[in-house]
Structures are given as C-alpha cells and as structure tokens.
Structure 1
Amino acid sequence: MSLEKNRIITIANQKGGVGKTTTAINLATALAAIGERVLIVDLDPQGNASTGLGIDRRDRRLSSYDVLIGTHSVSEAVLETAVPNLSIVPSTMDLLGFEMEISQQADRVFRLKRALNQDDARAYSYVLLDCPPSFNLLTMNAMAAAHSVLVPLQCEFFALEGLSQLLDTINQVRQTVNPTLDIQGIVLTMFDSRNNLAQQVVSDVREHLGEKVYATLIPRNVRVSEAPSYGKPAILYDLKCAGSQAYLQLASEVIQRERQRKAA
C-alpha cells in the first residue's frame, strides 16, 4: 500500500439522512470487489451498516463497543460478510453507554486509534469508520484514529451550511488530537438531475471546495434505497442500477486519489 499499513477513512456528517451509511457500505463493497481487503467499523448505535450488510443482531456477540472499552480486539469482534474481502466490526445498542462509561478517562478520545494500531487491524488495506449522525465521543474517536475524512453531502438547500460546521469540526480535531487528519473528499449524494436546486448545490460546492469534491455524483436511486432491507449492498442487489455504477466510479476515484497522494 503505502508507508501506512492501511488507510483509515472516517465517513462522517453530523446531519442524518445524507447517505453516510449507504456510502460506507457501497464504497467498501466496491473496493473489495477490485481486490482490496476492507474492514468497516460500525460506530453508530443504530447499527445500520451492520444490518445493511446482512449481519443479524443475534450474531453480534461482540461489537465495536467491546473494542472501544478495550475488553476485546478487532480480530475478536470482526465478522465476515457475504461480500468477499469485506469484513465488519458490527454495532450494538451498547454503544449508547460508551460516552458515559469512559467520559472521565484520560485516553477517551484515543480508544479506537489504539485498537486499530494492532497488527490484526493493520492487515486491511482500507478501514472505513461509519459514524453516528452527530459529533460526539464516538465520532471524535473515529477522527482521532483516521488518516482522512470522507464527507457525504446531500444535494439540498442547507448542504453548505452543514458542511461549514463539519469543516470547522475537522479543523478543531486537527488542532487538538490529530494534526495529520485530511479531507479525503466530499461526495455529493441523492442527486436528482431534474432538480434545478440540486444542480445549483453541486455548482456551489464545487466553487467553494474545488478539487476536494469528487467528480462522481451519487444519484437518487430506488434500488439503492431498497438494498438494505435485503441485507445487501446495492452493488450486490443490483449491480447495473445507476446508484451501484456511481459507487463503483467513486471507488475508482478514491483509489486514484490514494495513488496521487503516495506519489506526491
């Protein structure tokens, strides 16, 4: 890969409903499909990434909660998915108590970073951290552990306002706990080409952030929305649909950016 054993990418946006988990699942699947060994760490107590990859709640004997509190390693908590090369550390509702349990601990922000520094976690070429839709201690752990942040951004009126808050947060994290944290890129989601407002949002975001914005636009797509209810990524559920094809293009862009970064 690179000088790092792997590449850890936090997928974050404090706003809900922007396609964050959908992006985590389908980007991971696309990366796995081209031969990368990928791990998702589900850090959202709702566990949507775990459910969307077909992980039954009864099978989540260990979870990201156990990894964060330090009782078990990543390799002990990891589960294989139906996608070759793609594994997940699932989530359970136990995560709801995480912040309260360790809020007084000096290392509370670095629990995930320490876990991902172990050799069993470093065996994956990409680790994607799926965060809850809020800026809390779970998201802070993800940003402290990550090399970069990938931001899914819905093509809607308040997108830029929410993005500026998130960029401020990333800057704060950079100044306090992770000085090397970078923005992997902004991916525009739920794009409807028939909607003039969506077109304007795309134009505004590209004007403000330039090359940080991926060329790929993730369209609004019924098949992508249906896929989680079948416990499958859209790429497995319907490879040929517009949403699946867009996530394959996004994976190609992510890898291309990694190559450029390493060559720089």
Structure 2
Amino acid sequence: MPATIVSVINQKGGTGKTTTTINLGSALQKLGKRVLLIDLDPQANLSYSLGITEPACTLAEVFSGQQKLTDCLQERNGLWVAPGSNELVDIEISLVSQKERELFLQYMLREVEGFDYILIDCPPSLSLLTLNALVASTEVVIPLQMEVLTLQGLGQILNTVAQIRETLNPNLRVKGIVVVMFDKRRKLSSEIEDYLKENIDEYIFHQRIRLNVKLAEAPSFGQSVLDYDASSYGAKDYLGLAKEFVSIS
C-alpha cells in the first residue's frame, strides 16, 4: 500500500509547522507506523531539531540530480528524515526555468517504499517548493496559532489548495486544521477557535496542542518531545493528535 503523503503548511513563520511535522511524525511512529519526514524548508529547522547538522547529502542534491533520495535518508529515534539545507533556495530559483517544475518532488518520492506516512515540512511561504509538496501530496495539515493575523492567511492557504486541486492534483484534500500554542487562559484563543468552528468548513482536530515549554526545549536535544519527555503535555497532545489523525478518513 503506498504511503499517505501529507504537506504541513502555513505561509506564516513561527506557527508550529516544523514542531507539528516532527512531533506528529514521532507520535505516529510510536503508534507503530513507519514515517518519513521531508525537510523542504531552506531554513532546515526540522533537520537541526532532530540533531542532523552536517548531513552527507540533502534534498538540494536530490533535486539537482546528484543524489538519490533513498541515499540521503537518515534515521533518528525510529523516524526517517530527508534533510534540508540552505541550498534549497538556489534549487528553487533553478526550478523556475525547468519543464514540469512543480513535479520534481512527486517523481523523487516514487522511489521511496516501505513507509506508511510521509510528512513534508514546507517553507513558510506559498513558494515553488511548497507547490511541489502540494502536487506530491494527498493530504494537507494546517497548524494554526490562535492569533488574529493567522486567520488572514488561512483563507489564502485554503484557496491555494483549491486551485491545486483544480489544476494539478485532483486528489489533494485538507486533512484538517491543528490548533497549536493553545492557551486556555487567554480569551482570544477560545474566541478564535469558536470563529473557526462557525466559519470554516474544513475539519478542525479536536486535539489541541497546548503551550508547553518542553516543546520548545526538545529541539535543543535533537529529539521530538515524545522522546525528550513522554510525560509532558506536549507529548500527550501530539500522541492524541496522532490517534485522531489515523482514526479519520
């Protein structure tokens, strides 16, 4: 059975996109799933957060045809990772003039076998690299911080997904919106969550990701929060999210 390929996207930085990719992936792995993480962000925060600082090869070499994707994969605590790098900026520029420029990642992922889920950490912009991810994926997960400004970008993301579905990938769908950095002490958090439920048709995961210091600490130790502190709220929240994730079709 082919892997379910999921793009984790939000064009605004600092919204928990990389955190969600790592920890949802780790939680799925704890549930017995075989998971591959694709670090498509030129900032390579996902790779760094899992202790991959000097990889032998990265996605930049794969995009340029110098390496096979399968030769670049690294294992971290049961997760497999395709590392990113700053050179992806140059790769994106070079893709602009290429034929079928939006299909490169799709072709690359065809050589990967044996995974249940492939999670793609997309750049914090609706760029050509993000377009590659959306074309290669069947599902989209949108981490959403409970701030007013994030609502402005949500409509743009949903419109982009709809356009990709109409033109390049009819199988693409929004799996759901993940409420992250939730603070029940703030009235605004509840107000925005209520607004989403009343005005957004897409699925909103019941499992919220609460503010938790362990989520911020874990990358310093090159681990997911589930490996860093399995008893923390962050670990429990992402494990709950993973269970809900696999339970919905």
TM range (shorter): over 0.9
CA-to-partner distance for each residue in 1:182-212, whole Å, 9 max, x for gaps?
Answer: 0011000000000000010111112223560
Equivalent pairs counted in the alignment come to: 249
CA distance in 2, matches of 1:210, 1:241: 32
1:116 to 96, 109, 122: 109
Letter of the 1:110 counterpart:
L
Residue 35 of structure 2: aligned partner: 38
Preserved CA contact (<8 Å) 1:67 1:112: no
Residue 9 of structure 2: aligned partner: 12
CA distance in 2, matches of 1:202, 1:242: 20
**TM-score, normalised with respect to structure 1:** 0.91
- Unpaired stretches in structure 1, ≥5 consecutive residues: none
Is 1:76–2:71 an aligned residue pair? yes
- Unpaired stretches in structure 2, ≥5 consecutive residues: none
Residue 93 of structure 2: aligned partner: 100
CA distance in 2, matches of 1:97, 1:145: 21
CA distance in 2, matches of 1:153, 1:79: 29
Preserved CA contact (<8 Å) 2:60 2:91: yes
Residue 50 of structure 1: aligned partner: 47
Preserved CA contact (<8 Å) 1:221 1:242: yes
CA distance in 1, matches of 2:196, 2:236: 22
CA distance in 1, matches of 2:155, 2:207: 21
The worse-fitting range, judged by mean Cα deviation, of 227-236 and 183-192 is 227-236
CA distance in 1, matches of 2:5, 2:93: 26
Preserved CA contact (<8 Å) 2:174 2:202: no
Residue 21 of structure 2: aligned partner: 24
Preserved CA contact (<8 Å) 1:148 1:181: yes
1:166 to 149, 152, 157: 157
- How far is the alpha carbon of 1:159 from its aligned partner? 2.5
More helix by share: 1
- How far is the alpha carbon of 1:172 from its aligned partner? 1.4
CA distance in 1, matches of 2:85, 2:197: 37
Residue 64 of structure 1: aligned partner: 59
Residue 148 of structure 1: aligned partner: 139
- How far is the alpha carbon of 1:179 from its aligned partner? 1.4
CA-to-partner distance for each residue in 1:223-249, whole Å, 9 max, x for gaps?
Answer: 111111111111111111111100000
Letter of the 1:32 counterpart:
Q
Give the superposed CA RMSD.
1.1
Identical aligned residues as a percent: 39
CA-to-partner distance for each residue in 1:112-164, whole Å, 9 max, x for gaps?
Answer: 0001112xx13111000001100111101000100011000001112221111
Per the alignment, in what secondary structure is the counterpart of residue 51 of structure 2?
Answer: coil
CA distance in 1, matches of 2:85, 2:202: 37
Residue 235 of structure 2: aligned partner: 244
